[in-house]
């Protein structure tokens, strides 16, 4: 019987449990055994009890739970070859030669590195007499399949990552709550949302709540943004608006890459626009809570596809990542998706914002 491992890694995202549930149940449906690896790559490196067989009923109730019930961690050891050697050994001991990873681009890169090194790692384990030739014989290739779990919607080649719509809904609820008090007191609120190289959450939250101004990393504001923002906001006030909402992505900066912080915006609104202004940092509230219906559906459909991709894989197939493009669940080469994602970050760091926006536009034009 084929044994498929599933783990969640990097920052938690609502919907990760739905992905684990779908992978476990689909693996069982196809006559395989499913194993949960607890605490991300930590569990793979530590082995033993951290890798547990999962039965159908073990994932009961997972669909509606937020976060990740099998845990996640940042694992420094897995970044180094000795950590991955230990991980390979633990996998062979448990008989696992296929992994479905739900995480961000870092987690998926790590998984593909393990696959690329696999044969070399097994050889080394035999040379070091940690395993025998007999033990490694059935495990010539490692299959990796990626699922993107991230609230930021920051992976290229997919329209939505698992968790982003739950997070967006939570942000909208929070902004709606702030709205009522802002309107009552005619106040301005500066709201910081997550997103380091990706302004999707800020942009979509701005659209969904009718914010007055937003700051995103891919498209910084004009050089005289201070005057521009105050002008727009004063204009909105002159039209009778009783509240002001400005949304700032965590990674917002000006065209010289100087960080634009919520407090900077607050000072401007207070001193130049004359508004009673408060800052609200949503922080981890954006990650928490139950997954939205969309994330339950997305994680389930993608988990199902991940198991199919494992079973279809040949040694020649590049590791796939399961995406959604124009409402269809599709496979894309994992390394290409990561390379394209990194290209956006590189363009931003090089202050080539036209390129960053061109890449973002291309993602949605596919
Ligand atoms: P998020 O989007 O939430 O940051 P992520 O998956 O990108 O998610 P990382 O902290 O980058 O989060 O990665 C999670 C874990 O994956 C790391 O702690 C490490 O164990 C592993 N990992 C990340 N990058 C690599 C790499 N280049 N090589 C090997 N392992 C890696």
What's the pTM? 0.95
286 is in an annotated binding site: yes
Give 161-212 pLDDT, tens digit per residue.
999 999 999 999 999 999 898 888 999 999 999 999 999 999 999 999 999 9
107 CB within 6 A, ligand 1: yes
Segment 291-304 mean pLDDT: 98
> How far is Cα 308 from Cα 16, in angstroms, rounded to an integer?
18
Q: At what angle do helices 164-185 and 200-209 cross, to 10 degrees?
A: 50
| Residue 106 burial class via C-beta count within 10 angstroms: exposed 0-12, middle 13-18, buried 19 and up | middle
Q: Is the CB of 109 under 6 A from ligand 1?
A: yes
Give, using CA atoms, the residue closest to atom 5 of ligand 1: 104
- Residue 173 in tokens: 């609820």
Question: Residue 17 C-alpha to ligand 1 middle, in angstroms?
Answer: 19
Strand order in the sheet with 3-8: 51-54, 33-37, 3-8, 98-103, 143-148, 320-325, 328-333
Q: List beta partners, residue 278.
A: 189
For 301-322, the pLDDT digits (tens) are 999 999 999 999 998 899 999 9
Taking the C-alpha atoms of residue 21 and residue 303, their distance in angstroms, rounded to an integer, is 8
Distance CA 147, CA 163 (A): 11
Ligand 1 centroid–CA 326 distance in Å is: 28
- Cite the active site residues: 152
* 8 Å CB contact between 6 and 20: yes
What does the block give as tokens for 349?
Answer: 């760091």
- The answer, yes or no, to whether residue 273 has pLDDT greater than 70, is yes
- Does residue 11 line the site of ligand 1, with CB under 6 A? yes
Q: What's the DSSP call for residue 202?
A: H
Ligand 1: does its nearest atom lie under 6 Å from the Cβ of 68?
Answer: no
Choose among 105, 160, 13: nearest CA to 344.
105
**What is the distance in A from the centroid of ligand 1 to the CA of 269?**
38
CB of 35 closer than 6 angstroms to any ligand 1 atom? no
Choice from 110, 148, 154, 251 to test ligand 1 binding pocket (greatest atom count within 8 A of CB): 110
ipTM given for this complex: 0.93
* Rg, the chain, Cα only: 23
């Amino acid at each position: 019987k084929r044994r498929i491992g599933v783990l969640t890694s990097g920052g938690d995202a609502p919907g990760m449990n739905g992905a684990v549930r779908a992978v476990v149940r689909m693996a069982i449906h196809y006559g395989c055994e499913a194993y949960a690896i607890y605490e991300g790559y930590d569990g793979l490196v530590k082995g033993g009890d951290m890798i547990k067989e999962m039965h159908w009923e073990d994932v009961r109730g997972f669909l509606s739970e937020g976060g990740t019930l099998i845990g996640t961690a940042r694992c420094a050891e897995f970044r180094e070859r000795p950590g991955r050697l230990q991980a390979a050994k633990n996998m062979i001991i448990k008989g696992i030669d296929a992994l479905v990873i739900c995480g961000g681009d870092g987690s998926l890169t790590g998984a593909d590195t393990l696959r690329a090194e696999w044969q070399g790692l097994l050889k080394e384990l035999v040379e070091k007499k940690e395993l025998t030739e007999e033990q490694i014989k059935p495990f010539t290739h490692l299959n990796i399949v990626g699922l993107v779990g991230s609230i930021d919607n920051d992976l290229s080649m997919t329209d939505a990552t698992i968790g982003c719509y739950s997070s967006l809904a939570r942000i909208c609820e929070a902004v709606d709550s702030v709205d009522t008090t802002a309107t009552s007191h005619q106040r301005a609120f500066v709201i910081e949302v997550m997103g380091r190289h990706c302004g999707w959450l800020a942009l979509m939250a701005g659209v969904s709540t009718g914010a007055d101004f937003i700051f995103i990393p891919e498209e910084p504001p004009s050089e005289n943004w201070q005057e521009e923002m105050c002008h727009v906001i004063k204009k909105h006030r002159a039209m009778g608006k009783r509240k002001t909402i400005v949304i700032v992505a965590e990674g917002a900066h000006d065209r010289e890459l100087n960080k634009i912080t919520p407090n900077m915006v607050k000072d401007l609104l207070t001193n130049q626009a004359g508004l009673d202004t408060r800052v609200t940092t949503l922080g981890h509230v954006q990650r928490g809570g139950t997954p939205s219906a969309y994330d339950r559906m997305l994680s389930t459909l993608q988990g199902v596809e991940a198991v199919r991709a494992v079973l279809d894989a040949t040694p020649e197939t590049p590791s796939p990542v399961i995406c959604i493009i124009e409402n269809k669940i599709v496979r894309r080469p994992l390394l290409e998706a990561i390379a394209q994602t990194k290209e956006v970050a590189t363009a931003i760091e090089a202050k080539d914002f036209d390129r960053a926006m061109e890449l973002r536009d291309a993602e949605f034009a596919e």
